[in-house]
Structure 1
Amino acid sequence: MAPVQPSQEELDRRKASINSETVTNVTSTDFPGHWPGEDNSWSLSSFRNTFNINIHRNEPLESSFSLVGIDASVANAFRRIMIAEIPSVAVEAVYVHNNTSVIQDEVLCQRLGLVPFRGGKEGIQEFLKWHPRKKDDGMNTVIEEEEEENTKFDYNTIILSLKIACTRNKEAEKGERDPLKAYHNAHVYARDIQFKPFGRQEQYFSGEDAIRPTNPDILVAKLRPGQCIDVDMHAFKGVGSDHAKFSPVATASYRLLPTITILKPILGQDAEKFARCFPQGVIGFEKVGKKEAQRKGSGYEGHEGENKAVVVDPMKDTVSRECLRHEEFEGKVKLGRVRDHFIFSVESVGQWESDALFLESVKVLKMKCEALKQNLQTMNR
C-alpha cells in the first residue's frame, strides 16, 4: 500500500517554526483528544502507511538516510544504540616490555587503545565472543590477574604487538634535518602494529580479513635513534557504554528536515542576495513566465523574463536564519523544520558497514522490547 499523503494542515502541524530570535510550535499535538473530530491514537496499520525510509547516501564508511513518520524518542534510541550498544573490538590490555620514547607508558597505552581496527566480518561478529571482565566489589577484585589470564582464548582475545626501534639512516645526506630521511622509524604509525593469530583465528582472520588498523596512517609516537617501543596488546569485544574506544561509529547524528516557504515573490537582485543567504544548491532561479506576469495579484506583474528565487533542495540548508536578518525579505519567507522527518548521518570506523549499523540498532531495540515484554508478563504473574 502506498504511503498516505498528509493534508496541508497536517503538514503545517508537523513543522516547528524558525523565527529570527525564537523557535515556536515545537510541541507535538498529534495525540488523542487534542484536535476535535480527529482520532490520533497510535495504530500499527497507520504507522505502516505513514512510515518511510529514504536512502540519500550509502557507502561502506558513511551513509545518510531519512526516517519519516516516527517519534523523536525512537529516532534518538537508534542513535544512542549505534553509539553505545553495538559491540566492536578494541585494545583493552597493553603489556609494556620496553618503552624508551618520550611518551609515558600510560599515555602510550591510551593511544593504542583508541586505534580503531577492522577484520573479517564473520570473525568479529560471529566467532569472537565476550571476554569475562574482572568484577570489583569495592575493595578487592573477585577474579585475580592469574585467573583472568586463564579465561583468554582464541574465541575472545585478539593478540597484537608493536616492536619498533629508531636507528640512523647511514645513506642520508650530511646535515639532513628531516627526521623521516635522517632516521629509520622516526614516526611510529598504526600500520606498524602486527596481528598474531593463534588457534582457530587463522580460519577467520587471514588475507584481506586479517585484523589491521582501519587507518594505517594514524601517528602513534615519534622516536629518535636509541629509542624503542616493545609492547604486546590484547583486544577484546566491548560496547561504547563501557568506553568510547568500543564505539563502532565516529559520529551518529540526526537533524530535522528544514523547510523554506517563499510567501511573496523575490525577484532580480533580491533573488541573488536571497540565494547567498543559504548554502549553495538550496535556492535556485527561474524566469518569470508570461502567464505569471499577466496574472493579477501574483506579484509578478511587469516582471516577465526576470529571475525569481525558488527552493531547489531544502535538505542542504543549515537553518542559519541569515535571510531573516535582512529587511527586504521581511514577510516574504518562512523557515521551519519537520518534527517527524529525521535525517541521519552515520560514519563507521570500519568494523561495521555504515548501513549495517542501523540495521543492527533495530535488532538491539527489538531485543530490548522483547525483554521488557517478558518482564511485564512476569510481573502480572
Structure 2
Amino acid sequence: MAPTEFKNFPSQEELDRRKIVGINLETVTDVASTDFPGHWPGEDMSWSKKNFQKSFNVQFHHNTSYDSSFSLIGIDAAVANAFRRILIAEIPTLAIEYVFVNNNTSIIQDEVLAARLGLVPFKGGKAGLLKYLKWFKKPQEDGPEDEKFDHCYDYNTIVLHLNIECTRNEDAERGEKDPLKLYHNAHVYAKDIVFKPFGTQEKWFSGEDAIMPTNPDILIAKLRPGQCIDVEMHAIKGVGSDHAKYSPVATASYRLLPTITITKPILGKDAEKFKNCFPRGVIELEKVTKKESKMVGSGYDGHEGENKAVVKDAFNDTVSRECLRHAEFEGKVKLGRVRDHFIFSVESLGQWDSDEMFLEAVKTLKVKCAGLKKSLAGVQELA
C-alpha cells in the first residue's frame, strides 16, 4: 500500500472550532474528540511529542496553601481526570486508625467518638512524613489479639493522646448561662489532642514540625461537669482509596473553559437583560461608537450611543443557559466549552500545600506509566 500523503492543513480558525463543545438549550453537541488519525481525510493527526510541547500550557489563576486554581491547556480529558482521581485517592496523608478508649463518660458513644477522631486531619514535618514514616501493615482481623500490635514501631505509627475532663468554673459570675464560661473544658477541640513522640520520632517531629491537627478548632465533643474523655490513638499513613479520611483534599475538581460568542448585535434593553443572564463581570455594556454606527449591515448602523452587550470575561461563566431561554436572543449567541482547556480547583485540608499536591499527583502518574511500560515490555518479550 502506498503511504498516505497529508496535504490538507486546516486554518487555525478551523482547529479552534473543532475544540468547542456546543451548549444548546436542551442538548450538548460535538462532545467526542476528533484529533485522532483517520478522522479528517488528508490530515496527519498522529500524536507528536513536539506538537504537544508547543500546545501544552499551564496557567495559574491563584495559589495559596489551602486553595489553588490553575488551567491545564492542551491535554486529553482522560489525563485531566487521572490527575483528579489521584488527588482524591492516591496522595498519602496521616489519620487516626486505632482508638483505645480508657474512659469515656461523655454522651458520645465510643464508636462515634472514634469515627470523629479519625476524620481529624493531621500535619507534621514534611521530611518526616515523606522519608521517615513508612507504611503500616495492618494486622489480620482473625489473628491473635495479643499479637495484633506487635509490629507498631516509631517509623510507622504515631501515638496521640486525648485526656480531658470538664469541671465547674468557680469564678463564673452568678446567673451566667454560657457553658464556655460556666465550665472548664466544656468543648473538646482538636487542639486538645497531644502528640507523644517515641523512639527516633523526636528527631523528625519536634517544634514546628510536631504532629498536630491542621485546624485546631475542630469540635470533637461537648462535655459537662463529671464527664471526661481518656483515649489513646494510633495514627498511620494511608491513601483516600482505603478510606476517605486519608484524602488530602476537601475538593479536587475541574471544569472546561466556557466560550460565549455574540453572533448578532444585542442592543438597548435587550443588552441589559442579556447581561443579567450571566454572573457578574461576564457580560458588560459598551456604547456603540460613531464608527460602528456608520458600518452599513453591521447591525450597529443608526444606533450610535446605545448600549451594546460585549463579552468581558467568559472565564467566570457558569454556563447556566439562561440566555437561551429567551426568544429575543435566539440566533444571536452561541455557548460552548473548550474541550482541551481544564480549569482545576484544588482545596487542601492542610497536610499538603495545594500546588504541592498536584506535583505529587504528576509523580504518581509517572510511576504508574513506568510500571505499565515495563509490563508491556514483558508481554512483548513473551510474544
Residues 284, 312 of structure 2: 8 Å contact kept: yes
Cα displacement (A) at 1:329: 1.1
For the residues of structure 1 that align with 2:24 and 2:317, how far apart are their CA atoms?
15
Contact in 1 for aligned 2:188/2:222 (Cα 8 Å) = yes
Q: CA offsets, 1:278-321, max 9 Å, x none?
A: 11111112221111111111111111122211111111011111
Q: CA deviation at 1:145?
A: 4.3
8 Å contact from structure 2 (residues 139, 149) kept in 1? no
Q: Which residue of 2 aligns with 1:197?
A: 197
CA contact (8 A) 2:97 2:233 kept: yes
Partner of 1:106: 111
Q: Which of 73, 80, 93 is the matching residue for 1:75?
A: 80
Code of the residue aligned with 1:224 in structure 2: it is: R
Which of 34, 42, 47 is equivalent to 2:47?
42
The CA deviation string for residues 112-169 of structure 1, in whole angstroms up to 9 with x for no partner, is 0000111111111221111111246xxx34xx44334221122111111111111111
TM-fit CA distance, 1:269: 2.1
User: Which residue is 1:263 aligned to?
Assistant: 263
Per the alignment, in what secondary structure is the counterpart of residue 149 of structure 1?
coil
Distance 1:6-1:212 versus aligned 2 partners, 3 A rule: farther
The corresponding residue for 1:359 is 359
Give per-residue Cα distances to partners, 1:324-355, cap 9 Å, x unaligned.
11111111111011111111000111111100
Tell me, in whole angstroms, the C-alpha distance in 1 between the residues paired with 2:159 and 2:291: 74
Aligned to 1:86: 91
Give the drift of 1:6. Answer: 7.2
- Measured in 1, the distance between the counterparts of 2:286 and 2:162 equals 61
Distance in 1 between residues matched to 2:153 and 2:228, nearest whole Å? 29
* 1:377 CA drift (Å): 1.6
Deviates more, 1:197-206 or 1:181-190: 197-206
Point out the more displaced range, 118-127 or 240-249. Answer: 118-127
Q: CA deviation at 1:174?
A: 2.3
SS at match of 1:258: strand
Residue 238 of structure 1 and its aligned partner are, at CA, apart by 0.4
Identity of aligned residues (%): 69
Q: 1:365 to 1:8 in 2, by over 3 A?
A: same
SS across alignment from 2:161: strand
State yes or no: 1:56 paired with 2:61.
yes
Q: Equivalent residues in 2 for 1:4-15 (5 A)? A: 7-15=12-20
In 2, the alpha carbon distance for the partners of 1:367 and 1:42 equals 21
Normalized against structure 1, the TM-score is what? 0.95
Query: Structure 1 pair 135/379, CA: closer, same or farther in 2 (3 Å)?
Result: farther
Structure 1 residue ranges (4+ consecutive) displaced by more than 4 angstroms after TM superposition: none
Aligned to 1:345: 345
The match for 1:283 is 283
Structure 1 partner of 2:216 = 216
Structure 2 CA distance for aligned equivalents of residues 249 and 356 of structure 1: 12
| Native 8 Å contact 2:287 2:305 kept in 1 | yes
Of residues 111, 117, 128, the one that matches 1:123 is: 128
Name the structure 1 match of 2:335: 335
Deviations 1:93-122 (A, max 9, x none): 110000000000000000000001111111
Match of 2:253 in 1: 253
- Corresponding residue number in structure 2 for 1:171: 171
CA distance in 1, matches of 2:25, 2:149: 61
Partner in structure 1 of residue 5 of structure 2? none
Aligned length: 372
Residue aligned with 2:236, SS = strand
Q: What is the CA-CA distance between 1:84 and the residue it aligns to?
A: 0.5
* Aligned partner of residue 173 in structure 1, secondary structure: coil
CA 1:6–1:236 in structure 2 vs 1: closer, same or farther (change >3 Å)? Answer: farther
The match for 1:27 among 16, 21, 32 is 32
For residues 68-102 of structure 1, the C-alpha deviation after alignment (integer angstroms, 9 at most, x for no partner) is: 11111111000001110111100011100000000
What do residues 25-81 of structure 1 show as CA deviations (whole Å, max 9, x unaligned)?
111111111112111111211111111111111111111111111111111000001
Q: TM-score, normalised by structure 2?
A: 0.94
Distance 2:14 2:133 in 1: 53
Instruction: Give secondary structure in 2 for the equivalent of 1:82.
Output: helix
> Is 1:321 the equivalent of 2:321?
yes
Residue pairs, 1:274-313, within 5 angstroms: 274-313=274-313
Matched letter for residue 278 of structure 1: F
CA distance in 2, matches of 1:192, 1:43: 56
Q: Which amino acid aligns with 1:179?
A: P
